[in-house]
Amino acid sequence: MRAAGFRLDAIYPADEPHTALLSGAAGSLRLTKPGALPLPQGMPRFEPEFVLTKAGASPAQGRAGMLYRDLIPNRLGGRYIASHIVIPDGGPVADWVHYHRLALQMIYVRRGWVRVVYEDQGEPFIMNEGDMVLQPPGIRHRVLESSAGLEVVEISAPALHETLADHQMTLPNGRNSARDFSGQSLLRHIAAETVWTDFNGAEAQETEMFEATGGLADVLTLRSAGASSIAFKPHDGDLVFGFVLDGTAQLDREGIGPADAFVIPPGESWSLSALSHDFRLLHITTARLDAAA
């Protein structure tokens, strides 16, 4: 289509695109697959349930050559999508300056490194293992390059949302790090600069996600640190999401291991036991997004 004078303006969903909007001198064009779901009007109704997604499923080809493994197949009513994203080959990434129309989006590096650049955040920076960013709504950004075998975990709400190109903006575009984007600010969490503190007998690296989102979300990296179990109190918001970064454990009666993911319904107590010495978990919770909207 580029040879015919068209450029990509929007594409969705990112994990397995079915709709693309293009424009050119001859006008605009919409390409879509039969049965493609329309974009939601407002925040979809939250439908909680227990989810356990085991590692090993074949990923789908997503946008910009990225491989996406679906971690919440039922999407919890369409409110959340969680993806384990892999870039197999290192080097430049075929990305472009873009942004998203959504309520919440965060990216956590599990393996390798990735170089990214964000609107009003100065020069590009590298995210390493354990680092995380909150991408506030509408912020322009671009993935520049990565190590071979980069792995990240991405959480977004709502599940179905657009990736829109910004053909006018060039990044980097200067610095205004205090800028507000729809009540949120970009958060860059650097694991190597964060201390570990006690968490119910285990240890946690806390983030400033709660402050950066205005109370919409919270994120922890947990490790066993010699503990054999961790107990968790009921959560009264929407999402309780876990992704096993390393090691093994028992989630109630289910054994979980590296790259397994789970969702606990709100209002339920839960625990992890039989923690291996190298156990690490990405733990994400969110408030009720409909109440916050």
The residue among 160 and 15 whose pLDDT is bigger is 160
Question: Among all chains, which residue has been given the structure tokens 């402050």?
Answer: 211
Instruction: Give the model's pLDDT for residue 57.
Output: 80
CA nearest 126: which of 117, 134, 142, 115? Answer: 115
* Confidence at 204, pLDDT banded by 50, 70, 90: very high
Taking CA atoms, 148 is separated from 71, 107, 111, 202, 258, in Å, by 22, 18, 10, 32, 19
**For the chain, what are the domain ranges?**
192-292
Give strand pairing partners of 32.
19
Query: Residue range 178-206: average pLDDT?
Result: 96
pLDDT tens per residue, range 235-248: 999 999 999 999 99
Taking CA atoms, 74 is separated from 77, 84, 114, 136, 242, in Å, by 7, 15, 29, 24, 16
Looking at residue 64, the DSSP 8-state letter turns out to be G
Where is mean pLDDT largest: 22-31, 56-65, 220-229? 220-229
Query: Residue range 53-58: average pLDDT?
Result: 89
Number of other CB atoms surrounding residue 273 within 10 Å? 13
Question: Among all chains, which residue has been given the structure tokens 């040879």?
Answer: 3
Instruction: Give the model's pLDDT for residue 45.
Output: 95
Is the pLDDT assigned to residue 207 strictly greater than 70?
A: yes
Q: Which fold has domain 192-292?
A: Jelly Rolls (2.60.120)
Peptide bond into 234 cis (omega under 30): no
Percent of the chain with pLDDT over 70: 97
Instruction: Give the model's pLDDT for residue 292.
Output: 57
Element (H, E) at 236: none
The span from the CA of 16 to the CA of 82, in Å, is 13
Instruction: Give the model's pLDDT for residue 64.
Output: 65
Is the pLDDT assigned to residue 78 strictly greater than 80?
A: yes
Instruction: Give the model's pLDDT for residue 87.
Output: 92
Percent of the chain with pLDDT over 90: 85
Per DSSP, the three-state class of 63 is helix
Sign of CA dihedral 256, 259, 264, 269: positive
Mean pLDDT of the chain: 94
List the structure tokens of 79: 């409110």
Query: Residue range 223-238: average pLDDT?
Result: 96
Instruction: Give the model's pLDDT for residue 12.
Output: 93
Which residues fall within 8 angstroms of residue 3, CB to CB, at 6 or more apart? none
Question: Among all chains, which residue has been given the structure tokens 């694991």?
Answer: 191
Helical ranges in the chain per DSSP H: 209-212, 289-292
Instruction: Give the model's pLDDT for residue 43.
Output: 94
* Confidence at 231, pLDDT banded by 50, 70, 90: very high
Instruction: Give the model's pLDDT for residue 27.
Output: 84
Are the beta carbons of 131 and 187 closer than 8 angstroms? Answer: no
pLDDT tens per residue, range 153-179: 999 999 999 999 999 999 999 999 889
